[in-house]
Structure 1
């Protein structure tokens, strides 16, 4: 009779791991503002928030360095980040800018460098501009960029999908919010696995609430 497996496998060095860990990555949110949501045509706001809110919850639960950027708030043109995301990121202050490419903003640039991380998990609205432009620049400067595809959206399906192709061809590594959570968590027998259990259960409850199949909840 085989022995039941109840103990986790050995933990790899989280700082040197080639996969994403809370210790070797940082998370970036760009322009999750009402005006941006209003012009997205590749997915609904509810669909985007399934991933975006999950990403924010992961950032907070796993204490990952997090950067939140907005555009043209100080200019009085746009509103700040939606509350559904900032509510999940207590203490994270917005970095406002005037340009469409956040990497060209000195404060944003400095904030990313200050994390000391080269693996950058990034989401932004729109996919083809606010996410793609800094992704392309940062890849050129030696960063590894992981666009969270289920947490972003473009003006249309074509612009969204074309931007993903462009980023991938340049070296970006696309990921989704639940996959990222599994990559952080790694093993259901670890003491901190409940961090992800709470988040994945919340994801499926919200998924059901917007009329999508909820899947199986992880107890």
Structure 2
């Protein structure tokens, strides 16, 4: 497959995975959002991919980012971009500058919610010439209809829609390689274990 995303050429952007905002993501079970977000963060950290975190209005109902992110990626958590309320984080200079500083032109995005916090930066980054994949099952929307509308709008602007397992497999490329083995372990521990051993 041409134009694969790899840990060597992609950056991971986790947007507004906040303890209050997750309550708005009714279209995806909350425990699934947390598991998938953990898997994506661990994949970035354990493969050396740049990881950029951002939050919106932490002092309001949205609250702090998931404690899991601080546990998994303490440096990225400490450096998170705290937005005062800008909806499209791509238009907020400190966030965009943090992404540009990674030097990567391939971006993997996930966040809360898909219909507000992800749809706009995914489209904006695509319009600025970046290749963007949005991991929809590491986010959600207040309704299934809202989620479907967000996906349709992103696709119509050239954003690639993906899932947690799908993008992790793409990043792994080969399960027998050191990187692939590390990603497979993360996928099993965070996503698959409950299915296999449940």
- If the length of structure 2 is used for normalisation, what is the TM-score? 0.91
Aligned to 2:181: 194
Please give the alpha-carbon distance, in whole angstroms, between the structure 1 residues aligned to 2:178 and 2:26. 41
Compute the displacement of 1:165 (Å): 0.8
Aligned to 1:183: 170
Please give the alpha-carbon distance, in whole angstroms, between the structure 2 residues aligned to 1:189 and 1:55. 20
Match of 2:81 among 53, 76, 95: 95
Q: Deviations over 1:56-76 (max 9, x none)?
A: 111111111010000012xx2
Residue 25 of structure 2 contacts residue 139 of structure 2 at CA under 8 Å; is this kept in 1? no
Please give the alpha-carbon distance, in whole angstroms, between the structure 1 residues aligned to 2:118 and 2:132. 10
Compute the displacement of 1:163 (Å): 0.0
Q: Deviations over 1:79-108 (max 9, x none)?
A: 210112232213102101121110121100
Aligned residues: 193
Aligned to 2:151: 164
Compute the displacement of 1:189 (Å): 2.6
- If the length of structure 1 is used for normalisation, what is the TM-score? 0.83
Compute the displacement of 1:198 (Å): 1.6
Please give the alpha-carbon distance, in whole angstroms, between the structure 1 residues aligned to 2:112 and 2:47. 24
Please give the alpha-carbon distance, in whole angstroms, between the structure 1 residues aligned to 2:14 and 2:179. 25
Match of 1:144 among 109, 118, 131: 131
Q: Deviations over 1:97-143 (max 9, x none)?
A: 12111012110010111111111000010101110011111111111
Greater C-alpha Rg: 1
Aligned to 1:104: 91
Please give the alpha-carbon distance, in whole angstroms, between the structure 1 residues aligned to 2:105 and 2:29. 31
RMSD of aligned alpha carbons: 1.8
Compute the displacement of 1:43 (Å): 1.4
Q: Deviations over 1:168-194 (max 9, x none)?
A: 111001111112222122113323433
Compute the displacement of 1:215 (Å): 3.8
Aligned to 2:49: 64
Of 79-88 and 147-156, more deviation after overlay is shown by: 79-88
Residue 106 of structure 2 contacts residue 132 of structure 2 at CA under 8 Å; is this kept in 1? yes
> More helix per residue: 1 or 2?
2
Please give the alpha-carbon distance, in whole angstroms, between the structure 2 residues aligned to 1:114 and 1:84. 25
Match of 1:26 among 11, 17, 25: 11
